[in-house]
Structure 1
Amino acid sequence: MILTMPARFGWKMPVLLVVLMMLPWYGMARPDGAPLSACRSLTPSHSGIGVQGSNPPYDVTATKIGDKIRVTISSPVGEEFEGFVLQARSSRDKRKLVEGKFTARNGVSKTIDCLKGKENTLTQVNTNPKSKIVTEWMPANGVNEDVIFRATVAKTYALFWTEIDSSSTRVKAESNYQQGVSKERKQSQKMDSSTMYQDCFSSQGCFGYPSDCIPSEDCQVLLGYSLSNGGILFRLKGVLNSPDSYVAMALSWDQRMGDDAVMECVEEGNYAILRQSWNEGKRNNRTREVPRDIYTSEISDGQITCEWNSDPIIRTHKGTFNLDNTTYYLLLAKGPMSNGKISYHSGKIFTQSPVNFSAFEGLEGGKAHDAVKIHGTFMVTAWVGFVSVAILLARHFKSAWETKTMCGVKIWFALHRGLMIAALTFVVIAFIVIFVHLDGWNYENKNPHAILGCIATAFGLFQPIMAAFRPAPDNPKRPIFNWLHWIVGNSAQLIAVVAIFFARSLQASGLKESFYWVMAIFVIVYLIFHFLFQLHSWTSDKKKNNEIKMNEMTHVRGATNNIQGNSQEKNSSANMFRVLLLGVFVIFVAVILLALYALIGVA
C-alpha cells in the first residue's frame, strides 16, 4: 500500500518532517565535540543561540603535579554537562594559545589540533551527561609564562557558558637554584623528589597539606621524615603559586603559632635556600640561612624541595627540642615572601596529636581549635537562633496578646528584648574568645569574615544604646527611631549571616561544604516564614476592615454586639495561628542549630 500526503499539507509536510527529525539534536551539545572553527573563540556556532550572560555553574581548576598540570572541569553545585572545549591560554594575553598536549580519556574526551599545534585542545566525544572532566596538560618545550585554562561548557545544545577560566599557574623552564656552583655540583644535588609519595608509610613518616592529600598525591606541601645516621632526615616539598614564595615546617609545643622552631624552604630570585627561624607570637624573626653543605635544594617546574639531616637535639634561643624522647606538634605552611622574609601564610595545617619522629606514620591534619569551635557555636546560636526569632516577634507580633503583659511590658517586647540581650551576650563572648585565641587582629588574611564579623558586632552593640534613648511613643521623632532601629538591626543580622558563610572558606574553621547548604536552607526558610507572617497580616487586616464597614452600616445594638463578639473571636483565632506558626519556626531553628553544632563539632 502506498501512503500519500493529504493535499491540504502540500509542501509543508516535508519541512515539518525535517524539523521533527532535527528536534532530538536541538536539546544536546555537538555529539562529536568542538569543530576546528571554534579554536580561536571557543564559542559554539549554535544557530540563533547566544552565550549565557549569568555566572556559570561550572569551575575550572588547575593543580601542578610534577612536570604536568592537572586540570578539572566540575560544578560546585552538582550541575552535569554534555559538552565542553578546553585550552591553555596566556594569563597576560588570554587570546594567545599556549602550546602543550592534553591527555584524552577513551569514551569521554579527545584532543584536536588547533592553530598549527598538536593535541592542544580537549573536547568531548559524546553528549552523555558528565559531572567532572579530569585531564593532564604537558607544556611544550620552552614554555615560560603564567598560564590559565579556559573552557566553554555546554549544559545542553541551547545552554552554554564561555570564558570559564582557572586561576593562573606558572610554567617555566627549570631554574638553577644555586648561583656560582658548577653544573656538575648542581646535578649531584638534584633530588629525586618524585619518590616521596612512594616512600610514605614504608621508609618515612609523612604529613601533607591540605588534609588527606597524600593518597591522591596532590599535596601543596609535603613533609617526609625518617631516621638517618643518628639524626632525622627531613624532606620538605611544596608547590609555588607565585614568584618569591616559601614552604615551611615548624616544631611546636601546641597547635598554635608561637614559640616554634621553623625551617623555611624559600625561593629567592631563581634559587632555593634553607633557612632556620623562630616564631614569637604571630611574628617570624631571627632568621638565619643553614650552611649550604648540610642541605640540598631544588626548584623545578614550579615546585620547591629542600632536604636536610637534623640533629635529634635542636637548640634555639628560646629553648631546646629533643626529638629522641619528646613528641611535638608539626605545622606546615606556605605563602609569599615580603622583603626577604616569609609573610603570613596562604595555607597551613597542624597535626592532631604530637609526633613521634622515630615512628613512620601518616599524620592526619589537625582539627579546628576548641576556641574556634566555641566562637562558631556562640555566633550561630546568637545570629541564627536568638536574633532571627527576636526579629520575627518585633515584626509580626506587635498586635498579638494586646491585653496581656510580661515584666510590666507587652509580651512581644519582653520576649524580643530578652532574646536580643541573650544574643548580644553570646556575640560578645564569641568575640572575646576568638580575639584571645588569635592574639589580636590579623591584618594579612584576605577573607572578609573577620571584618564583617566586627561590623555586625558593632551594629549589635549600637542597638541597645540606641534603644536606651528612644523617644516616647507619642514623640514626633519616634518614627525616625523606629526606622533606624529596624535598619541597624536587620543590617547587623544580614552582615553576620554573610560572615558565617565566609567562615566556611577559612581553613582554621575546618568546616565541610555541607555547612554552606545548611546555612542556605536556613536563609531560604527564614525568608519564607517572613512572607507567611506578612501574608497572614495582610489577609487579617483586610477582614478587619470589612468588619468595621459592616459595623458602621449596622444600627441595631444587638447586631453590633454580635459583630464585635465575632471580631474578638476572629482576632483570637488569628493570634493562635501566628503563635502556631512561630512554634513551627522555633522548632525549625532548633533543628538547624543542631545541624550546625554537629558540623562545627566534627570540624
Structure 2
Amino acid sequence: MPPLLGVCLALLSVATPLVWGYSSGCPSTASVCSSMLPGHGAPAKTTPMRYSLTVDGGTSIYTPGLPVTLTLSGGPFVGFVVRALTGTGNGVSGMNSMSPNVITKDCGPVKDTVTHSSGAEKTTVMFQFTPPVGTSGTIEFHVTVVQDYDIYWVKQRGLTLTPTEAGSGSITTKQPPVSVPQTTGVSSTTKVQPVSLPQTTVVSQTTQQKPVSLPQTTVVSPTDITTLTPSTSSSSTSSSTSETGTIPNDPACGITKGCFQQCTGDTCSYLVTWQDLGTGVRFELYGKPGTGSSEAYLALGLSADKRMGDDSVTECVASNGDIRVFNSYNRGYGNNRLNPPQLGLANFRGGYQNGVLWCAFTRQKSGNVQSEMFDLNQDWYLMLAKGSAVPGYILTMHSTVNLPPVSASQVDFQSATVQQGVHIKYPLVKAHGILMIIAWVLCVGVGILAARYYKNVWADKTFLGLKIWFQIHRACMVSAFVLNSIAFIIIFSFVKGYSEINIQGKQYLASHPVLGIIVTALCVINPLMSLVRPAPDHKNRPIFNWAHWGVGMCAYILSAITICFGFQLPKSSTPTYAVYIMIVYVIYVIIFDVIFEMTECFSRRQKKVEAGGMEMSNKNGTDNGNVPNGKSSSKDQMRKMDKIKTFLLVLHIAVTGAFALVLALVVGLN
C-alpha cells in the first residue's frame, strides 16, 4: 500500500472530523514531514504557544539505547505532530506510542514522528523515544499542536536533548526562538554548572524570528542542589496577547496548571500560572504594567500573609527590548535582589508588546538556597506587582492607588487550583492618615489662628471663665493632641514597631516615620510647656511665648510635609492628586495669614492699648487680650474689626474643614 494511501485511510477511520484537515481531506505525507502544516487554510499562530513538551524526570540528557518518556500537555487540543531531528535537520528513529491516541509515523527513518490517531479532544499525550545506539549530538523535537480548526501552532521548537557525555556542562546550540517552555529536572550525579544570564529579545509584530543562542537545561543533583542557573531565553513574537493587547485565559487552568488570575470570560487583567515539575515549578506571568514605555516589570511575590513586607519575589523586567528574570526579597517597603540574583531560576523566556508583558521561568523548589527564597513545597499567598523600570533593570515603586492583587488564600504549588485575586486594603493605615489630617489640617489650623489673631477679639467677654480665644485654642489643640496620639498608636501597632522605608526612586519617603515621630514629640512637648508657663508679668514670659509659638509652628509645618509623604506610601492607597490638594491647602494658609497680618496692622493703628485681659504683650505679633482704651470712635472701629475677624474665623473654619473632609474622603474611599 502506498504510504500516502495508508495515512489517509488511518485518518479517515476516526469518528470525528476534528483531525488535520477536518472534512477537507488528508494532508500529504510530504507536508506533514517537512512543514508539519495541518493544511487548514487559516494561518498558523506565531505566538508563543502554551503547550509544553517535557521529559519524565525533567532531565534533558539522553543515553543511546535507553528510552526517554516524553509528555505533551498544556490544555485541551485535538491534533499534534512531534518529530525527532538531529541538529542538521535529519530525522531520528526511536518514537513509540504510550497512549491509545498516539501513533508513529515514518517521515525519514522508521518511527521518527508521532501524531494523533483521533481528533477527540485531549489534554495530555505520552510517548517514548529511544535514541538508536551510536546516536551523538543534540536531538531536537519539533512540535505542531492544533487547539481547534483555526488555532494551531506549527513546527515549534519544543525540546532539545543532549547526549550523556555532554550533559555535565552547559551546551549552547544555535536554535530559533523557543515557543514551548523547557523543563528543569534532576540527574543522580551531575552538579550545577553556572552559566551567564542570557538576554531575551522582543520581536515586533512585523519582525521575522531570528535564531538566538540558547544554553541547554541545567541538570541538578538531588543530593547537592545549590542553584538552578538561567538556561533558556527566547525571542517573543506577536501573539494573540500582543496582537490585541489583551491577555487570554488559559484553558489549562484548573486542569494541568494552577492559576492566579482576574478574568472575565476569556479575557484577563492579569494571569499567573504554575505547574509542578518535581524539583521545580514552572511559572508563567502575564500582565499590563501600564507604563507606556519599554521599561516595565511584573513581580510575583510569595508571602506568609496578605500584607506586603517580608516577601520572596521573582521579577520579570523588560528594559530596552530585553527581558530578564531576578529573585529578590521585600523587607518592609524596601526590595533587595539576592546574591546571585538568578539563584534557583532556569529556562526563562518572555516578551513585551502592545502593553502586555509576559515571561515564563522554572524556579527551584528548595535546596541550599537563601532563606529569603521561600520553599515552594510550602503554601504561600501570591501577590503580583507591576510598574515601570529604569535602564539597568531597576524597579520603581508600583502604584500606591492600585495595590498589587493578593490571592484569596494560600497557594499549593503541587496542585492545579484556580485562585482569584483580591485587592487588600489597610484600614488601620487609612485610619491613621484620616486622624492625622483632621488633627493637623482642621484642629491645629484653627487653633493657631485663634491664638495668633483673636486675643483682642471679644476682649470683654469670657466663656466658662476664660477668654473665648483661649477656649477655642485649647479645644483645638487638645483635640489635635488626642487625635495625633491615637493615630500614632494605631500605626505603631500595625507595623509592630518602627518601620523602615526604602523605595527605589523615592528615597525621601524614608523620612516619613522619622518626621512622624518628631511631629508627635513636638505635639506632646507643647502642652507640657503650657503647664510650666510663667506668669504674665514674669520676665521669662516673652521667652516662653516665643518657644511655645516656635514649637507649635515647627510641628505644624512638619506635619504638612509628613502628610504629603504619607500619601505616597503604597499602603495608603492614595491617588497622587492628594498631594496637590495638600499643597493648595498650604498656599491657602499662607494667603490667609497675610490677610490677617494686614488686618492686625490696620487694627493697631486704630487704637491705643493698655495691659489687661489674660496676658501681657509678648512681642509675637499679637495683642494678647489687650482692650482698647481711648475714644469711643476707636471702640466703634474695633467693634467693626471684630465683626470682620469673626466672619474670617468662620470662613477659615469652613475652608479648613472642607480641606480636611476632602482629604479624608480621598484617603478613605480609594
TM-score, normalised relative to structure 1: 0.51
Aligned counterpart, 1:116: none
In the other structure, the counterpart of 2:88 is: none
In structure 2, the gaps of 5 or more residues are: 1-195, 201-210, 216-231, 251-258, 368-372, 610-628
1:524-576 superposed Cα distances (whole Å, 9 cap, x missing partner): 33233323333333323322259xxxxxxxxxxxxxxx985555454444333
Give the whole-Å Cα distance in 1 for the aligned partners of 2:272 and 2:327. 17
| 1:183-194 to 2 correspondences below 5 Å | 184-186=213-215, 189-192=234-237
Compute the displacement of 1:480 (Å): 1.7
Q: CA deviation at 1:493?
A: 1.0
2:284 alignment partner AA: F
Residue number in structure 2 paired with 1:584: 651
CA contact (8 A) 1:330 1:350 kept: yes
Larger of the two Rg values belongs to structure = 2
1:295-354 CA-partner distances (Å, limit 9, x unpaired)? 557999xx99751368999995698328xxxxx4524278999xxxx9997447421663
Shift, 1:384, TM fit:
0.7
Deviation at 1:437, TM superposition (A): 2.7
| 1:481 counterpart SS class | helix
- Conserved 8 A contact 1:333-1:347: yes
Q: Which amino acid aligns with 1:467?
A: S
Q: Give the Å deviation of 1:463.
A: 1.4
Give the match for residue 405 of structure 2.
351
| 1:423-454 residue CA offsets vs partner (Å, 9 max, x unmatched) | 12222222232233334231534134504333
Q: 1:541 aligns with which of 581, 591, 604?
A: 604
**Superposed counterparts of 1:269-284, under 5 Å:** none
In the other structure, the counterpart of 1:478 is: 541
**Residue of structure 2 equivalent to 1:202:** 248
Q: Work out the CA distance in 1 between the residues paired with 2:197 and 2:283.
A: 25
| 1:225 corresponds to which of 272, 276, 279 | 272
Q: CA deviation at 1:388?
A: 0.8
Change (3 A) 1:296 1:406: same
1:249 aligns with 2:308: no
- Distance in 2 of aligned mates of 1:412 and 1:318: 64
Q: State the partner residue of 2:492.
A: 435
- Opposite residue 468 of structure 1, the aligned amino acid is L
User: For residue 468 of structure 2, what is the aligned residue in structure 1?
Assistant: 411
Confirm whether residue 382 of structure 1 aligns to residue 439 of structure 2.
Answer: yes
CA distance in 2, matches of 1:430, 1:261: 30
Structure holding more helix per residue: 1
Distance 1:430 1:185 in 2: 55
The alpha-carbon distance between structure 1 residues 431 and 319, as it changes in their structure 2 partners (threshold 3 A), is farther
What is the SS of the residue equivalent to 1:394? helix
Counterpart residue type for residue 379 of structure 2: F
1:286/1:566 CA distance change after superposition, 3 Å: closer
| 2:378 alignment partner, SS class | strand
CA distance in 2, matches of 1:390, 1:442: 32
Shift in alpha-carbon separation, 1:331–1:229, aligned structure 2, 3 A:
closer
Matched residue, 1:235:
285
- Whether the 8 Å CA contact 1:383–1:493 is kept in 2: the answer is yes
Deviations 1:46-95 (A, max 9, x none): xxxxxxxxxxxxxxxxxxxxxxxxxxxxxxxxxxxxxxxxxxxxxxxxxx
Describe the SS at the equivalent of 2:594: helix
Deviation at residue 193 of structure 1 after TM alignment:
8.5
Residues in 2 aligned to 1:569 and 1:458: alpha-carbon distance in whole angstroms: 44
The answer to whether the Cα contact below 8 Å between 2:302 and 2:312 also exists between their aligned partners in 1 is yes
Please say if 1:263 is aligned against 2:302: no
- Paired position in structure 2 for 1:425: 482
Structure 2 equivalent of residue 321 of structure 1:
379
Query: Secondary structure of the equivalent of 2:307?
Result: coil
Residue 602 of structure 2 is aligned to residue 602 of structure 1: no
Shift of 1:392: 0.6
CA change 1:290–1:532 in 2 (3 A) is: closer
Is this contact kept in 2: 1:177–1:297, CA < 8 A? no
Change (3 A) 1:600 1:453: same
**TM-score normalized with structure 2 length:** 0.47
Match of 2:455 in 1: 398
1 CA distance for matches of 2:199 and 2:642?
Answer: 77
In 2, the alpha carbon distance for the partners of 1:520 and 1:184 equals: 54
Change (3 A) 1:193 1:481: farther
Q: Quick one: structure 1 residues 273 and 443, their matched pair in 2 at CA, closer, same or farther if it must change by over 3 Å?
A: same
Contact 1:259 1:318 in 2 (8 A): no
Q: Could you say if the C-alpha distance between residues 429 and 335 of structure 1 is closer, same or farther in structure 2, counting changes exceeding 3 Å?
A: farther
How many angstroms apart in 2 are the aligned matches of 1:239 and 1:410? Answer: 58
SS in 1 for 2:284: strand
Can you give the 5+ residue segments of structure 1 that lack an aligned partner in the other structure?
Answer: 1-173, 209-214, 323-327, 547-561
Query: Is contact 1:234-1:308 (8 Å) kept?
Result: yes
Tell me the distance in 1 between the aligned counterparts of 2:563 and 2:364: 45
> Distance between the aligned counterparts of 2:316 and 2:407, measured in 1?
24
For the residue of structure 1 that corresponds to 2:591, the secondary structure is helix
How many angstroms does 1:412 deviate by? 1.4
Report the alpha carbon displacement of residue 207 of structure 1 after superposing the two structures with TM. 7.4
Q: Which residue of 2 aligns with 1:86?
A: none
Root mean square deviation, CA, Å: 5.3
Deviation at 1:508, TM superposition (A): 3.3
2:64 is aligned to none
| Distance of aligned partners of 1:194 and 1:431 in 2 relative to their CA distance in 1, 3 Å threshold | farther
Question: Given residue 251 of structure 1, which amino acid in structure 2 is its aligned partner?
Answer: L
Give, in angstroms, the shift of residue 382 of structure 1: 1.0
Task: Give 3-state SS (helix, strand or coil) of 1:544's partner.
Answer: coil
Residue 281 of structure 1: CA displacement?
6.9
- How far has the Cα of 1:285 moved from its partner? 10
Code of the aligned partner of 2:198: N
1:378–1:430 Cα contact (<8 Å) kept: yes
Q: How does 1:151-166 map to 2 (within 5 A)?
A: none
Residue type of the alignment partner of 2:285: R
The number of aligned residues is 389
